[in-house]
């Protein structure tokens, strides 16, 4: 086993790197023919550094086969699309693998793409017939230990409720919001609770002193959620504030599906734009700098799409 293999294996097993690319790609005909576009929302500093007309070599891991060498290319068009390209004969194994996995079931299926080390990517198919649903994929804790969070039955209720919300290609962020709200209400959570009687500020949910904000909105407004938690602690004896955000992977998928729906349903002179959606990664990067202001337990939780991945352990990772 060489040093590259050891590094790759260790990198894959460690917790998600906030500065690596990870996104969900809705399967289409181009996926099998030549490549995948990397959403703007999922592009990291490394990706943004690739200029128009330029390309970089990458490794793609998939299934149990040996990696394929491909490239990431910034197209020299007006939007400057950034794409994985694997249309050459040397990459035929990857195209054949994707066609064989997805076949005629492509509609509603997803390809999870994760950068495990810089410029080495893992392709993990998620089929629609596995009924992908929402889950909490990661949590960042402030003034709270992991063993303490496990004692909150309310957190388990939230996880159970999210698991009942299935992924749908036609769902927008408001659709997911509605389904999350319906699920928690059925479990006895109080909706739209005022944090201070004299003010108009309300938290999305409260139960037994656990105050929850579901933040699928604009990233600029999420700081207000922390203000609500602090007010709830002072005036409503809040025990914990929980911020639920989509991961960058989920948020970029919502944006991409929104763009697709806009192109299908409306004739426009100008390309529809979707940007600035809140993400778990943004909150996770910023909380260490903001935490000095918060004298109460706060949990930031990343909401992701979970499905039965067909990834079986790449030969390189499995050594």
What does the pLDDT look like over 276-318, one tens digit per residue?
689 999 999 999 999 999 999 999 999 999 876 555 444 444 4
Mean pLDDT value across the chain? 87
State the Cα–Cα distance between residues 168 and 152, nearest whole angstrom: 30
What DSSP string describes 144-187?
A: --HHHHTT-HHHHHHHHHHHT-B--TT--HHHHHHHHHHHHHHT
Low-confidence ranges of the chain (pLDDT < 50): 1-16, 267-274, 312-319
Percent with pLDDT over 70 in the chain: 85
Q: Which structure tokens are listed for 41?
A: 């929302």
The domains found in the chain, sorted by start residue, are: 3-127+310-318 (2.40.330.10), 133-306 (3.40.91.20)
Tokens 């004739």 sit on residue = 267
* pTM to 2 decimal places: 0.83
Tell me the chain's radius of gyration from C-alpha atoms: 21
The pLDDT assigned to 104 comes to 63
């Amino acid at each position: 086993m060489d040093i590259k293999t050891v590094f790759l294996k260790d990198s894959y097993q460690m917790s998600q790197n906030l500065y690596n690319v990870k996104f969900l790609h809705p399967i289409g005909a181009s996926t099998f023919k030549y490549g995948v576009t990397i959403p703007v929302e999922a592009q990291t500093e490394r990706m943004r550094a690739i200029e128009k007309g330029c390309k970089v070599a990458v490794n793609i891991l998939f299934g149990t086969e040996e990696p394929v060498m491909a490239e990431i290319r910034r197209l020299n068009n007006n939007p400057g699309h950034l794409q994985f390209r694997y249309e050459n004969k040397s990459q035929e194994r990857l195209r054949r693998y994707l066609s064989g996995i997805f076949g005629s079931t492509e509609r509603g299926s997803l390809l999870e793409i994760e950068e495990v080390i810089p410029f080495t990517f893992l392709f993990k198919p998620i089929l629609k017939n596995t009924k992908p649903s929402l889950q909490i994929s990661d949590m960042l804790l402030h003034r709270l230990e992991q063993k303490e969070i496990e004692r909150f039955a309310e957190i388990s209720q939230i996880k159970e409720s999210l698991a009942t919300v299935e992924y749908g290609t036609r769902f927008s962020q408001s659709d997911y919001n509605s389904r999350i709200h319906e699920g928690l209400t059925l479990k006895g959570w109080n909706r739209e609770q005022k944090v201070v009687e004299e003010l108009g500020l309300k938290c999305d949910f409260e139960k037994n002193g656990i105050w929850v904000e579901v933040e699928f909105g604009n990233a600029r407004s999420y700081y207000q959620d922390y203000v609500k938690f602090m007010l709830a602690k002072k005036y409503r004896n809040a025990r914990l504030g929980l911020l639920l955000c989509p991961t960058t992977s989920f948020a970029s998928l919502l944006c991409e599906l929104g763009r697709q729906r806009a192109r299908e349903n409306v004739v426009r002179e100008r390309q529809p734009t979707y940007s600035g959606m809140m993400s778990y990664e943004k909150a996770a990067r910023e909380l260490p700098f903001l935490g000095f202001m918060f004298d109460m337990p706060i949990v930031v939780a990343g909401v992701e799409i979970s499905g039965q991945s067909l990834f079986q352990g790449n030969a390189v990772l499995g050594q």
